[in-house]
Amino acid sequence: MVSALVLKRLVRHKLRPFLVSLNHEVLDALKELVESEKVTPVIDRTYPLSETPKAIAHVAEGHTRGKVVITI
């Protein structure tokens, strides 16, 4: 958050703090849905780590139909 405040003075973009609060009940419910195969993630493409720039470019094009995965 401190770096965002410093950068705010140097760039024109609006920078807002982003805080995440974990809700374990929701995460547990999601885990159960995935394990029971009632919800399945959609993977558009998979890239090796060495092709990370290609993966980012693919996402930037805005035509993805699911998640883009980078394998390590």
Q: Is the pTM of this model over 0.75?
A: no
pLDDT tens, residue by residue, 25-53? 988 999 999 999 999 889 999 999 999 99
Q: Position 48: which residue type?
A: P
pLDDT at residue 1 tops 60: no
Q: What is the pLDDT of residue 21?
A: 74
Task: Tell me the pLDDT band of 59, cut-offs 50, 70 and 90.
Answer: very high
Average pLDDT estimate for 5-26 = 69
Contact in structure between 67 and 41 (CB atoms under 8 Å) = yes
Phi, psi at 48, each rounded to 5°: -75, 160
